[in-house]
Structure 1
Amino acid sequence: MTFSKRLEIAMKESGYTQGSLAKAVGMAQSSVWKLVSGGAQGSRKIVDIAKVLGVRPEWLSDGSEPMRIDGAHPLPVDLALSTESDFYRVDVLDIQASAGPGTFVSTDFIERIRAIEYTNEQAASLFGNRPADTVKLITVRGDSMEGTINPGDDVFVDMAVTQFDGDGIYVFVFGNTLHIKRLQMQGNKLIVISDNQRYRDWHISQSDEDQFFIMAKVLLRQSIDYKRFW
């Protein structure tokens, strides 16, 4: 069981959402998102998180039993992982990334609502060797990427990519808004490009870094067909 799954279980049992946990521990909402979605495999706040959720830090960190000091570690049925090794499970997140002027980031905006299962062979052809914990499915709103990604399309994203790693389409937060745009490095500026030419490009400079956080990189669009970006 992965760190993100243990955290998800502890949050579910303790009644915490991502927003309420972030507030209780004193973390940014985006940092909790990374932990729950598998984009990060640990945190310097692990002891504080464990204390808030009422679990042992050792269990949360590496799975060392028991889960709680009293030894009780019930696992809710709806969070139980499939033990079938022949399936690759992709979580569908309750979030709409904006291909437009941006979606306001609320404090509780990401929850897992369902999952899609693929055979390992299907997953390998779609996602390469990426682990299932890092691949998520989200819905796109807005038309600034129209022609490449249309309003209402679903996109598969790699949550392990939280830094710019070359030209491509990314899901990112800038200020208090969530975007899905093409990013391209030009000199020392990161250019934000909308594939729909009705929208102007804009840029993110080094002075803006404290407002900018990459959440994921887009892998595939799912509409009538798949469109590969890697």
Structure 2
Amino acid sequence: MPRHSNSEQILSGQELHPGFGAAQIIGRMIDALKVGTQSGLARELGVSRGAISDAKAKNKVPSDWMLKLFRAYSLNPFWLETGRGAMFLREDEVREDLQVTDAVQQDGYEYIPLVEARLAGGGGSSETSDKVVGYYAFRRSWLRGRGALESMRLMRVTGESMEPTLQDEDVVLVDLAQHDILVGKIYAVRMDDEIVVKRLERKPGKLVLVSDNRKYYEPLDVPVGDQTNVEVLGRVLWVGRELM
């Protein structure tokens, strides 16, 4: 069995990037699985040897092959496509948070990483790690209309200050490239060593952090400038909720 190693790379879509052809990807599959030949790879994938040859001829690797090897061996699709990063993802980083269905085996999806960092809806969250713990699948066309794919991360919300909009344990999609403040929109904000999620407003020399649950959480005015450690990390674009 292949040994797993750590990776925090984003899983890209299944369309081949310029300069990385099907022959190179298939070669990396063979090397990673140590099967030696295209016939051996075909057996692992449950396809005919001719299907491997067809993929090379058409310069397109079916996305369900990538998904199958990811599920079976934690083989890193980013490494398969580009040759960069770790060959395998650690098993403890590939958890049930990977939300995929059979439809994801079709082209047109991006895998966005869910990281350990939590956005506090209440007091600040001290969990700020960018370690990847899973992936959610989104339609590529939907994402491209909303922000920079390479800068998107998923994080969980902790606390109740943003209720009813955001609830405890909700998963939110954050574009870390969107730093310009649109008044009233929701952002992830780093304050010293903590992260909070709030609506943002501006006052002269101040950033106003506004909670939706105003009955218990008053707006907070935070001075901005060279002497303060406040950073707008990115804008919240989407929220998903699990029904317990």
TM-score, length basis structure 1: 0.56
1:99 and 1:208 mapped to 2: Cα distance? 26
Instruction: For 1:61-210, list aligned pairs within 5 A.
Output: 78-81=75-78, 86-105=108-127, 109-121=129-141, 124=142, 128-161=145-178, 163-167=179-183, 168-197=185-214, 198-207=216-225, 210=228
Instruction: For 1:22-41, list aligned pairs within 5 A.
Output: none
1:108-143 CA-to-partner distances (Å, cap 9, x unmatched) read x2211121223434xx1x662534222221100011
> What SS is found at the alignment partner of 2:114?
strand
**Shift of residue 80 of structure 1?**
2.9
Unpaired segments of 5 or more residues in structure 1?
1-10, 18-35, 38-62, 64-73, 226-230
Mean alpha-carbon deviation: is it higher for 194-203 or for 112-121? 112-121
**Shift of residue 174 of structure 1?**
0.7
Unpaired segments of 5 or more residues in structure 2?
11-18, 20-30, 33-72, 82-105
> What SS is found at the alignment partner of 1:133?
helix
1:202 and 1:129 mapped to 2: Cα distance? 28
On the 8 A contact 2:153/2:176 being kept in 1, the answer is yes
1:208 and 1:98 mapped to 2: Cα distance? 24
TM-score, length basis structure 2: 0.53
On the 8 A contact 1:182/1:194 being kept in 2, the answer is yes
**Shift of residue 224 of structure 1?**
6.2
Against the structure 1 CA distance between its residues 99 and 209, is the aligned structure 2 distance closer, same or farther, given a 3 Å change threshold? farther
> What SS is found at the alignment partner of 1:78?
coil
On the 8 A contact 1:127/1:219 being kept in 2, the answer is no
2:226 and 2:160 mapped to 1: Cα distance? 25
On the 8 A contact 1:91/1:114 being kept in 2, the answer is yes
**Shift of residue 191 of structure 1?**
0.6
**Shift of residue 103 of structure 1?**
1.1
1:23-50 CA-to-partner distances (Å, cap 9, x unmatched) read xxxxxxxxxxxxx78xxxxxxxxxxxxx
Task: Name the structure 1 match of 2:238.
Answer: 220
Against the structure 1 CA distance between its residues 130 and 77, is the aligned structure 2 distance closer, same or farther, given a 3 Å change threshold? same
Bigger Rg, structure 1 or 2: 2
1:97 and 1:119 mapped to 2: Cα distance? 24
